[in-house]
Structure 1
Amino acid sequence: MLTENTDPRIIIALDFPDADSALSFVKPLDPALCRLKVGFELFVAAGPALVEALQARGFQVFLDLKFHDIPNTVASACRAAAALGVWMINVHAGGGQRMMEAAREALEGGVDRPLLIAVTVLTSMDDAELGACGIGRGVDAQARFLARLTQESGLDGVVCSAREAAALREDLGAAFLKVTPGIRPRGSEAGDQKRIVTPADALRDGATHLVIGRPITRAQDPATVLADIHGELAAVMEA
């Protein structure tokens, strides 16, 4: 089980189609070395029961459902997610300040309140795709703009590319969480991620938590890969 002194920086993205696959995968993993991310596909397939099963095994869960709706609906969704006892939940910063503030207020006063963060720009997007959506800023500028809005709304941090982490640390401080997908150990395939960074470089640049999926979940020996990445991060933190 996790102790109060344990703060794993690695979040493994459980991109599996069903509960059995996810639970089988996590059996050899050490909860002291990682947290787990449950996203749309898995949550729709397996529901709250899977979250409870993962937590019963000692893992803290990031429920990655990226709520984005009118303020009242998002607030209600955040309360429901918090009732599951998860470690972290998220919303889309593009929903605006009023929506983010409603989400934050919905969690206030709760026991063991989950961390609340917001997605800035998806790491699968580049400047051209943002432009095609009618957004004139480039990826970096848009991410910094939305990150500032997130902090002003009172949230705990953002989901962002590790390539933006250094700028956001300068803009918003080291304590503001920067949860970074698109992390690929050296030699890994990029997949559908366009803005990728190695684990050690991400940590040096200011990322607080690293979301890693396929390089671990599709490895022949996931526990060994996880331990190797953890060792790499420990070396950076001790340097």
Structure 2
Amino acid sequence: MAHPSSVRQRTSLGGSSLDEARRRLVFPLDYATLDEASDAAGRVAPSVGVLKVGLELFVREGPRAVEIGKALGLDVFLDLKLHDIPETVGRAVAGAAALGVRYLTVHAAGGEAMLRRAAQEAARSQELILLAVTVLTSLDDGDLAAQGVQASASEHAVRLAQLARGAGIHGFVASPKEVPVLRQALGKSELLVTPGIRPGAGSDGASGDDQKRIATPSAAISAGADLLVVGRPIRDAADPLAAARAVVQEIAHTLHPPR
């Protein structure tokens, strides 16, 4: 299995700063039908590096949704957030690997046995990278307390990430608010993926919608994020490609500030 550190190198070496920034941008195909997803992917493909297939599209269209990214020459991120008994998750990981996806999410809260079984199955692949989801961006400290978690979102995210890493997983999904503490706890080699990215968040009163822990692309990259998931700000824009390009430019300027 490719180690996430090799992916981090791939996103930062070779080509222009805009190429590097583009490879860091993940666009979710949050559409109800294959035709809608295909049309949207085709429009933004020049300015994104990864297409994310989530539950809505995968439940409706199945493996055909994965083919959208492969046809465009883009990495595919299958965001199923697997959380089940170890054997079931292991078989699901094997199935995802057979589809040729680059990234696959599992819930870190699934426990050590489940995570280790998933990592063992992923290790059979030369391409698949598992991403352990820590704390969903729709949750805050109050939500965690209601679930009986006596820790802040940041503390809980670190605890879950360390559990997943101990089980053999080296990629993690967390809000941009947790990226600094995760980077400090896990070091530089692990892959950090951040949803909840909102251009202009906090400056123009931009809404986080149902996501409570959000940040701008620049803030997330500065904190140490590797891949940024940007959905609604691109999908709902009057010109999605222009919106994607603006995010890529912001990432590029953050990685390589003008002198």
TM-score with structure 1 setting the length: 0.94
Q: Give the letter for the 2:181 counterpart.
A: A
Partner residue of 1:206? 224
Supply the RMSD in Å over aligned alpha carbons.
Answer: 1.8
In the alignment, structure 1 residue 140 sits paired with structure 2 residue 140: no
Any residues of structure 2 matched to 1:1-239 within 5 Å, and which? 5=14, 8-31=23-46, 33-110=48-125, 112-186=126-200, 187=204, 188-239=206-257
Q: Report SS of the residue matched to 2:52.
A: strand
User: Could you tell me how far apart the structure 2 residues matched to 1:57 and 1:79 are?
Assistant: 24
Segments of 5+ residues of structure 1 without an aligned counterpart are none
* Structure 2 residue identity aligned to 1:183: I
Task: Report the AA paired with residue 159 of structure 2.
Answer: F
Deviations 1:161-201 (A, max 9, x none): 11110111111012211111110000442111100000000
What is the alpha-carbon distance in structure 1 between the residues aligned to residue 68 and residue 253 of structure 2? 32
- Rounded to whole Å, the distance in 1 between the matches of 2:115 and 2:79 is 15
How far apart are residue 113 of structure 1 and its match? Answer: 2.5
Give, as a single letter, the amino acid of the residue that structure 1 aligns with 2:134.
T
TM-score by structure 2 length?
Answer: 0.87
Contact between 1:31 and 1:59, CA under 8 Å: does it hold in 2? no
Partner Cα distance (2:48, 2:136) in 1: 26
Offset, 1:88: 0.3
1:182-222 CA-to-partner distances (Å, cap 9, x unmatched) read 10000442111100000000000011111111000111111
State the structure with bigger RCO (CA 8 A, min sep 6), 1 or 2.
2
Does the 8 Å contact 1:63/1:89 carry over to 2?
yes
| Mapped partners of 1:91, 1:136: distance in 2 | 23
Q: Is the 8 A contact 1:31 1:58 kept in 2?
A: no
3-state DSSP class of the match of 1:30? helix
Aligned to 1:61, the other structure's residue is in SS state strand
What is the deviation of 1:32? 5.9
* Higher mean C-alpha deviation, range 185-194 or range 41-50: 185-194
Q: Which runs of 5+ in 2 are unaligned?
A: 1-9
Q: Percent identity?
A: 43
Aligned to 2:5: none
Q: Whole-Å Cα distance in 2 between the matches of residues 197 and 172 of structure 1?
A: 21
Residue 109 of structure 1 and its aligned partner are, at CA, apart by 3.0
Q: Which position in structure 1 is the counterpart of 2:3?
A: none
Q: Distance between the aligned counterparts of 1:15 and 1:53, measured in 2? A: 13
Q: Distance in 2 between matches of 1:172 and 1:78?
A: 24
Number of aligned positions between the proteins:
237
Give the 3-state SS of the residue equivalent to 1:131 in structure 2. Answer: helix
Deviations along 1:128-156, one digit per CA (max 9) or x if unpaired, are 11111121112111111111111111112
Contact 2:47–2:244 (CA under 8 A) maintained in structure 1? no
